[in-house]
Structure 1
């Protein structure tokens, strides 16, 4: 059974959004009064014209007529001024509110658990932080205040018309029900059309983003023609969606213009008849009403678009607030802030699951002494990377304890804990920035001289110096200007300059070129020297140098010891792994 959509306006959500405008009460007041004065000045001009014609043109009073013309010019200038204030400050308020909401949103996103990002598409989060924010800004700049201004102008104009000549006013109002009905039909159909357009835009963006990212695969498997046909089909649906909106506009706006013209024709006919017969109408009133009719009808036909803008902004606000209300924060309740860890690490019967009731770690216990290097080996899915994530508190454990220097990691402030731990991940991420900024991450406490000295110590200064611009070389998005081995070397340097108490290496050397492999091995030896290091090992050389090897299988620690000790275990996990994976490497 299809779910019925709730198209009602969410006042609770609107009130919450409006709370972000409270710090800008003065600007809000300026916008509000600008809308009021704009409506008043607009409605007064036809009234002044009426008096100019009736009291001066009819009796040929040149001086009096000039006064009214100057008065109309003053009202026109006032209208321009208030229009300027209204447009500028309404947009300024919208952008200020959006800035505050975006800051709050990004601050919230920075504290989310890694699990949240595991389950949330990057494109969706980018859309919330960028595109949806602009729709929220439109609530203030093109939605709420514009609707208020238009409704106020229509009300004032209608009041002036009734006051000036109620019979002519009622003649005009007879056309209003038709245009109101047409506006309502237009609004409903445009909303459906825009929803279809947004869906197709999302499909198009997703398709293009995925294909551009995976272009190498498409070309390797000669899928260009097939994907091009898919693109054309999606692009066609996108075009058809927009054509619907164009079609509805093509129908509605001529109807709106026709209604306005009919109202002017009725006024010209009925009002002209009354002027000719000299009964209850004047030439000035006739001119004034002809000016009033566009003022009454034009805002009405624009209201449909403005209400859609307001509604779309509210939909975007709902999406953004959904992220703001997401409870996916790591509990940072620790009180220990200034701490210099030695690096003793204990996992005490730690249970963990990414998905409830599907444990990944089954009560593992391990003990790492300060300064030791331990290697973790095991098959894919054994739980090696999970240990790394838990130590840095990217995820919360289900049961057990993780201790560093005898202190539960939950008792240490999250920032203080992570400041003491450096991680070199398997997938190296570099920003579209200089090598220096990628190493320091713009930490003002790390100087370029320190970076150069560290690079020389681990043997990669010559490689960096050979690049155009050296440490100022821009590696572009995700470091595409560098090889995988070069990116890995930079990640080692980034970890080394932070001078951590605990070093974690996901040593991804399986796809490293031969020129970089020896540099990486030398860098590994240097940065692990004298500090606690946990290495997910992919090379026998690293494993053999470890003080202790942890062998994992299906979330359990099945063996631990040195390389030589583990090889003595008959039919042991490590011995089998060594014979299958490492023996050829050792022979070579």
Structure 2
């Protein structure tokens, strides 16, 4: 079984991906160029502080013979001589202590600035990447959303971009800093005493073996942790959104047991991961202590024979303890690098997704926007040659209302999606006011349309924000006029704050009917030439439907309308009804014409639904006649 790409980890370093990532640093190269020498200076001053310890011991605390002074101690003595002679031990220790404190203050300042520069750069890069990703998501065709889970796209914008931020601020930077420290320590070790330096490096092969063991096992468990976490997320997303069904069918205990098993697998692999870390850290500490023990054994012997100063021995002990830190740090950062490279691959996969629906280089535009629609021998399939529409042809004159009816999967919604060019046809043409939709500028084409869906989309914000959707040319007067026209103004003003009332996520505090009225008001505020009603009254009660239907009739005045029919209250008044069956047009005409056909599909459906609806008309709660019967499966 292939893994979802959220669970796959690649190489810890991929030159191709790294080169592309570094391109995002180009606008901020000045910040990076300033941070790099700060990193080198920080490492240099830290090493200099270690050397000051050696100089303090050799020059003032336990001074050996001058010929046995280390390189840095001799250099420090020369500086004192040039400044007027070597001070007394008390003064010398005070001076070197002050210098040490001063160096640490400089290291503090350098560390602060490099952190601000690099982490700030990481934030800028994250900002740019998220902007680019979101812009790409807005331009991708609906076919991409058909095959890609929303959770995966959210992960691209959040977790994956965060992983790349860690790469910039901790990954590459830490590696650079660690390399500088390692090289610097080795240089000073060999300058002080090359024999003792070689002895101190005897444990490096053992250190490399421990690190390799940890890296292999930590990589495996890290991958499995991500896999099990992905399974937890998938399970939670599915079952929390379907909690009503779980409770309805008394599945709580069964689903709890299923979650418990998934959760337990995640716990066990995390405990295994903890085991490797629990072994790795003490092992590195033990190996480093073995190195220090070798330094004390061999260096102590040299110090006793006078071949090595005590200051140099203390320097070696301190330097060896500092030497193992970068090696341990590099091992820890391996998974960060690996996760970041995998995240980069996933992010760039989205950014490289081809834009199959784009505006032409030289778009066309009708001289007059009338709202005429024409389908000419249209064939369409979402995949391969599994045709959803087969040789569909019809024409809707400006200002007419056409209704599409038929069973689920007949191709009704596909027709409206093709109109707005969410997909492109494989054969044939779709014309708006005589111009092929593929020749329009996409933004201009979609300004033609207003859409009211069965479940309208509302966003967090205010009522006014949801009606205006950021359009700067729609003022408050026009907004309120549109709301009054569809009879939404009354309920809006009853809300706390009126048009400035807060709308919760997905309009959770509003009824379905209220959301439909807002969707109609929004459509009217944008004044589209073509209105698409996709089962706009399918999910509301009969009383609310009357209100919505009255609003629809007001909105339809002077506009072309395409209705995906569910209730006959809309279908019967349409100028033309198109009956779809398995992607083909089987019948076309007015309600009266289609009902008059003895063996017509529409007549049979109408008769069937009318018979089913008649008892409902006699038993409505209000005692009033029910609305017109329903059309099946539209």
TM-score range, shorter chain: over 0.9
Aligned to 1:444: 472
Match of 1:195 among 214, 220, 223: 223
Q: Do the aligned partners of residues 508 and 571 (structure 1) sit closer, same or farther apart at CA in structure 2, a change above 3 Å counting? A: same
Partner of 1:9: 13
Q: Secondary structure at the match of 1:402?
A: strand
Alignment match, 2:180: 152
Partner of 2:316: 289
Alignment-derived partner of residue 623 in structure 2? none
Aligned residues between the structures: 587
State the SS of the aligned residue for 1:535.
strand
Aligned to 1:250: 278
Instruction: Please tell me whether residue 551 in structure 1 is matched to residue 579 in structure 2.
Output: yes
- Whether 1:225 aligns to 2:235 is no
Counterpart-to-counterpart distance in 1, 2:205 and 2:34: 34
Query: Aligned partners of 2:276, 2:94: CA distance in 1, in Å?
Result: 46
Q: Once the 2 structures are TM-superposed, how far is the Cα of residue 329 of structure 1 from its aligned partner?
A: 3.5
Shift of 1:337: 6.0
Pairwise CA distance, 1:300? 0.8
Q: Unaligned regions of 5+ residues in structure 1, if any?
A: none
**Residue 434 of structure 1 is aligned with which of 454, 457, 462?**
462
Please tell me whether residue 471 in structure 1 is matched to residue 499 in structure 2: yes
1:303 to 327, 330, 334: 330
Match in the other structure for 1:50: 54
1:584 CA displacement? 5.0
Query: Is the Cα contact below 8 Å between 1:458 and 1:526 reproduced in 2?
Result: yes
Of residues 99, 104, 124 in structure 2, which corresponds to 1:96?
124
Given that 2:487 and 2:517 are in contact with CA atoms closer than 8 Å, whether structure 1 keeps it comes out as no
Q: 84-93 or 385-394, which moves further after superposition?
A: 84-93
In the alignment, is the contact (CA less than 8 A) between 1:373 and 1:546 conserved in 2?
A: yes
Distance 1:464 1:205 in 2: 38
Q: CA deviation at 1:2?
A: 9.9
Aligned-residue Cα RMSD (Å) equals: 1.9
Question: TM-score scaled to structure 2, two decimals?
Answer: 0.89
Structure 1 position 568, deviation (Å): 1.6
Deviates more, 1:52-61 or 1:295-304: 52-61
Aligned to 2:342: 315
- Which residue of 1 is the match for residue 545 of structure 2? 517
1:378 aligns with 2:406: yes
**Kept after mapping to 2: 8 A contact 1:338/1:416:** no
Q: CA deviation at 1:150?
A: 0.7
Partners of 1:212 and 1:243 lie apart in 2 by 27
Q: Which moved more, 1:305-314 or 1:463-472?
A: 463-472
CA drift of 1:432 comes to 2.2
Alpha-carbon separation, structure 2, partners of 1:6 and 1:98: 21
- Counterpart for residue 143 of structure 2: 115
Q: Evaluate the alpha carbon distance shift between residue 230 and residue 2 of structure 1 in structure 2; reply closer, same or farther with a 3 A threshold.
A: closer
Q: Deviations over 1:515-573 (max 9, x none)?
A: 32111111111111111011111121211111111111111111111111111211111
Contact (CA 8 Å) 2:455, 2:512: kept in 1 or not? no
Q: 1:111–1:329: 8 Å Cα contact kept in structure 2?
A: no
- State the SS of the aligned residue for 1:362: strand
Contact 2:31–2:121 under 8 Å retained in 1: yes
**Residue equivalent to 1:355:** 383
Pairwise CA distance, 1:338: 8.6
In the TM superposition, residue 466 of structure 1 has moved relative to its aligned partner by: 2.2
Mapped partners of 2:377, 2:2: distance in 1: 48
Gaps of 5+ in 2: 64-87, 618-625, 627-634
Check the 8 A contact 2:375/2:392 in 1, yes or no: yes
Distance, in Å, in 2 between the alignment partners of 1:63 and 1:338 is: 91
Q: 1:52 to 1:338 in 2, by over 3 A?
A: farther
Q: Secondary structure at the match of 1:558?
A: strand
Question: Deviation at 1:294?
Answer: 1.8
Aligned counterpart, 1:332: 359
Alpha-carbon distance in 2 for matches of 1:392, 1:518: 28
Name the counterpart of 2:190. 162
Are 1:33 and 2:61 matched, yes or no? no
In the TM superposition, what is the alpha-carbon distance from 1:433 to its structure 2 partner? 2.2
Counterparts of 2:597 and 2:123, CA distance in 1 = 68
Q: Distance in 2 between matches of 1:185 and 1:525?
A: 73
